[in-house]
Structure 1
C-alpha cells in the first residue's frame, strides 16, 4: 500500500516522473486512486482516462496511448483483469496474464497511472470514480457504445473517440500466429513422414487451420 499524506503528495511525486517504479503507478485500492486523482486535479492537471484489455500489446496500442495522453497531462489506464477478459472475450483470452500486461503498460512512457478492473465491478465504475477531464474510447470497443457514452457523459468533461491506430489488432495477430504455427506443424509432419518413406500430399495450410479450430 502506498504511503501518502492526506493530500496524496508522495504518490504525486511517483506519478509525475520522479520515480518510474511499477508499484508507484499501479493503484490497487480505488480509494487511494481517487485521492491521488483529486490531488492532481487540485494542482491543475488535466486527467485523461482510457480502458481496455491491452492483450498481446502491439504498435496500435502504443499509438493509441500516445494519442490519448496528448489530450491532457495525466493518463489513467484501466486494465481488464484476466477474469473480466475471459468474461468479455472468451475462455481462451487473455493471451498475456494481467500481471505482465500491467507491468508492460507501466513501462510505456505515455502511461502515468494504472488501475485493474475486476470481473465483478460495474463497467461504469472507473469512469464514475476518476471523473476524467477527458475520457478516450476507441471506435472498435464494443463495451462503450453511444448509450453508455450518453449515460456517462455527466462524469466527464469531454469524450473523445479514436479510430484504430493500426491495421493489426490483437485478435488478428492471434489468428495469424495460429495459422503460422499450424502451417509449420503440417510441413514438419510431411517432412517426417517422407523421411520414413511414407508418400504424402501436403494439405493446404488453411485446411490444417480449420481442422485445428474444429477440435
Structure 2
C-alpha cells in the first residue's frame, strides 16, 4: 500500500516526528490505523542510537522496509547509564532523537524513560511488527511478545562490522595513546621543574653578613 505518514519524508520535521509522551503516541498510532482502515502495517523498533553510524542507518532502513509506518523508541540518558555505565551515552538524548529523525526512516520518535514498565512501549501501541537485534530477546520472550503484544517479531542480524561500544573503546585507546606519547615527551621536563621547585622551597636562606 501507499506509505501513510503525517510528516514530510524529505524533511526532519522534528516537531511532528518527536512525540512528547506515550499517550500522545497511542493517539497518533490509533489515528493511523483508523485512517488506513487497518491496512497500515505499524512497525516498532527501539534502541540507544549513541554515536550513530552506518549500522544504525541500515538497521532503521531495514526496519522501515518491514511495514508502512515506523515508530522508534530512543532510550533516555538515565536508562542508558543504568544499563551501560556512567560514561554512556556519549551523545545526549535530545541529539540522539534528532539524529534518528534526520535519517527520514522514522515516522515517529519517542523517548523511553527508565521508569516505564518492561516492554511498556510495545504493550502501549501493540505494533504489527516488532524489530529487534539478536541480543534483545530470548526465544521464550519472543513467543510471549507474539502471543500478547505484537503480531510478529523480526530479528535483524548485525548491520555493520562496527558497533558504538567498539567506537567508544577505540576513542579511549586512541586518547590514552596520545596521552602516553605526550607524557613521554613532557614528563622529564615536568619532573625536573617539580624537583627544582621543591628544592627551592626547602633551600635555607643565607645568613646576613655581620658588619
TM-score range, shorter chain: 0.7 to 0.9
Pair 1:136-2:131 in alignment: yes
Deviations 1:25-70 (A, max 9, x none): 1111211111111111221321110001111111111111111101
Q: TM-score, normalised by structure 2?
A: 0.81
Q: TM-score, normalised by structure 1?
A: 0.79
Aligned pairs (5 A) from 1:79-158: 79-141=74-136, 144-153=137-146, 154-158=148-152
Aligned residue in 2 for 1:188: 182
Task: Tell me the CA shift for residue 156 of structure 1.
Answer: 1.1
| Runs of 4+ that moved beyond 6 A | 194-198
Pair 1:49-2:41 in alignment: no
- Aligned partners of 1:51 and 1:114: how far apart in 2? 10
Structure exhibiting the larger radius of gyration computed from Cα positions: 2
Give the alignment partner of residue 24 of structure 1, picking from 9, 16, 19: 16
Q: CA distance change for structure 1 residues 178 and 37 in 2, over 3 Å: closer, same or farther?
A: same
Task: Tell me the CA shift for residue 195 of structure 1.
Answer: 6.9
Q: What SS class does the counterpart of residue 13 from structure 1 fall into? A: coil
Stretches of structure 1 that go unaligned for 5 or more consecutive residues are: 1-11, 199-215
Pair 1:170-2:164 in alignment: yes
Asked if the contact 2:10/2:104 (under 8 Å) is kept, the reply is: no
Aligned residue in 2 for 1:201: none
Asked if the contact 1:75/1:110 (under 8 Å) is kept, the reply is: yes
Aligned residue in 2 for 1:8: none
Aligned residue in 2 for 1:207: none
Give the alignment partner of residue 179 of structure 1, picking from 169, 173, 181: 173
Task: Tell me the CA shift for residue 176 of structure 1.
Answer: 0.6
Asked if the contact 2:128/2:151 (under 8 Å) is kept, the reply is: yes
Indicate the larger mover: 147-156 or 110-119. 147-156
Aligned pairs (5 A) from 1:67-86: 67-86=62-81
Indicate the larger mover: 107-116 or 37-46. 37-46
Aligned residue in 2 for 1:40: 32
Say how many residue pairs are matched: 184
